[in-house]
Amino acid sequence: MNATSIPLHRSSARIGLSLFGLFVLLVLWSLGIHVLGKSMPLAGALSPSDTFHSLYDLLARNELTRHTLTSLKRVMVSLLAALALGVPIGVAVGSSRALDSSTSGAFQFLRMISPLSWMPIAVMIFGIGDAPIYFLLTITAVWPIILNTSAGVRQLNPRWLLLARSLSATRGEILWRIVVPGTLGHVLTGVRVAIGMIWILLIPCEMLGVSSGLGYFILDTRDRLAYSELMAAIVLIGALGFLLDALAQRLHRHWVPAGTD
């Protein structure tokens, strides 16, 4: 009885504290608008009440669906591309000490360059449209996936590999039955970090000559002087980011039993 009631009590306390934190954020937001309103009459449009009213209107009129779906599609396509590139590279780097040593300097160098710096070059190469966005988001997401996958391969218990060898496993069987499941936890941690980074970078990328997506919608509201809608889009971006992260966390818990990491 106690064993179940204690975690329940703890989780409800955690949710309570989390809601309290959101409430404090809302109060600070209102206070900020109140202070700003004295010197800037337009600030009223950025208030929580106007924002949530606009958000409700936009959702009710279905105006955000297309932009949201476009943005989510860009996230997913880029994430899949980053996985397709990053996992094999990570497995190779994690398996070979020589490859690890020869690539670590280059990877750390490339990783530290803000992906937005590539923007002019991406437009030059890919033109305007979805392609440069996919490129920028993919190179954003690929580093945490490569680094986490290679760390996952390096931490594989050598006894698991010995066990597989003792059962006459082929190279393919070792890869699919030991390496892939044994590194899944690390890959999903990489995915979680990558989703966060993609989501942050998506908005500025969508301000880049495209006609849909939440980033585009923000520029559009600015041009229409629809500031409460702009704030509504910001709130929606925060909420979607929060949900995406929660989803990645849930996937990790679902697919990775305790002790695998």
Partner 1 sequence: MSKPTPMLHPAVLEASHIALSYGHAGRATNVVLRDFSLQLKAGEVVAVLGPSGVGKSSLLRVLAGLQTPDNGGVRVHGESLKGPHPRVGLVFQDPCLLPWLTLEENVGFGLDFRHQPVLDAKTRRERVRDAIAEVDLQHALGHYPSELSGGMAQRVALARCLARQPEILLLDEPFSALDEITRGDMQTLLQQITARHKTAAVLVTHDIDEALVLADRIALLGGQPGGLIGEWRIEQPHPRDAVAAELTRVRVEIVQALRDARRAGSPPAELQRAVA
Q: Is 169 in the site for partner 1 (CB under 8 A)?
A: yes
Closest CB to partner 1 among residues 77, 174: 174
**Among 177, 219, 234, 240, interactor with partner 1 by CB under 8 A:** 177
For residue 136, give Cα distances in angstroms to 66, 91, 202, 224, 225. Answer: 22, 23, 9, 28, 29
Minimum distance from CB of 80 to partner 1 (Å)? 23
Q: Is 168 in the site for partner 1 (CB under 8 A)?
A: yes
Closest CB to partner 1 among residues 7, 105: 7
Residue 235 and residue 238: Cα distance in Å, rounded?
5
* Among candidate residues 79, 195, 71, 201, the one with its CA nearest the CA of residue 130: 71
For residues 148-167, which are near partner 1 according to CB under 8 A? 157, 159-160, 162-167
For residues 115-134, which are near partner 1 according to CB under 8 A? none
For residue 189, give Cα distances in angstroms to 56, 72, 78, 177, 192. Answer: 34, 20, 17, 20, 5
**Among 170, 222, 238, 249, interactor with partner 1 by CB under 8 A:** 170
* Among candidate residues 102, 109, 192, the one with its CA nearest the CA of residue 144: 192
Minimum distance from CB of 110 to partner 1 (Å)? 32
Closest CB to partner 1 among residues 48, 181: 181
For residues 219-258, which are near partner 1 according to CB under 8 A? 256-258
DSSP structure string for 73-132: HHHHHHHHHHHHHHHHHHHHHHH-HHHHHHHHHHHHHHHTS-GGGGHHHHHHHH-SSHHH
For residues 182-211, which are near partner 1 according to CB under 8 A? 182, 184
Q: Is 102 in the site for partner 1 (CB under 8 A)?
A: no
Residue 141 and residue 147: Cα distance in Å, rounded?
11
Binding-residue total with partner 1 (CB under 8 A) = 23
Helix (H) and strand (E) counts for the chain? 11, 0
Closest CB to partner 1 among residues 119, 180: 180
Residues of the shown chain interacting with partner 1 in the complex, contacts defined by CB under 8 A: 157, 159-160, 162-170, 173, 177-178, 181-182, 184, 256-260
